[in-house]
Amino acid sequence: MKHIKLFEGFVNEEYTPEWKAIIDFVKKNNSWFDVEEENDEQVLLTTRENGNVGSETPGQKDKVEARRIFKSVSDKFPKQVTGNLEEVDEFVYLYIKKAQSNLNK
């Protein structure tokens, strides 16, 4: 158990405090979506809760919920995140990513 806590501490150190706050907010404001991936660049949420497996189509409720989740995150962190919604078969994928700075322009 001690090794797991040490590993979690090591993993969490790579996140800036601002990005950690965004990830925590996403997790708190998430409903039935699963956190599929989490790293220092993005959080990927997925679901097929309301999708139709037989016809391989995403559920309308899942798409609406993905938009709601992203809106709540972008309202709280308007300059820090971007998002992308993808549909593949009955799955809905919501990518919440760090906004890239335009310092090179």
Digit-coded pLDDT (tens) for 75-101? 999 999 999 999 999 999 999 999 986
**Statement: residue 18 has pLDDT above 50:** yes
Whole-model pTM above 0.95?
no
Total domain count for the chain? Answer: 1
Which of 57, 54, 73 is CA-nearest to residue 65? 73
> Mean pLDDT throughout 33-55?
96
Distance of CA 103 to the CA centre of its chain: 25
Q: Residue 48: CA atoms inside 13 Å, Cβ hemisphere, count? A: 12
Asked if residue 87 is part of any domain, the answer here is yes
Whether the pLDDT of residue 43 is over 80: the answer is yes
Torsion of CA 25, 29, 35, 41, to 10 degrees: -30
- As a whole number, the mean pLDDT across the chain is 87
Domain holding 54, by residue range, is: 2-98
Judge whether 82 and 97 are in contact, CB under 8 Å.
yes
* 35 part of a folded domain: yes
Whether 24 is in a domain gets the answer yes
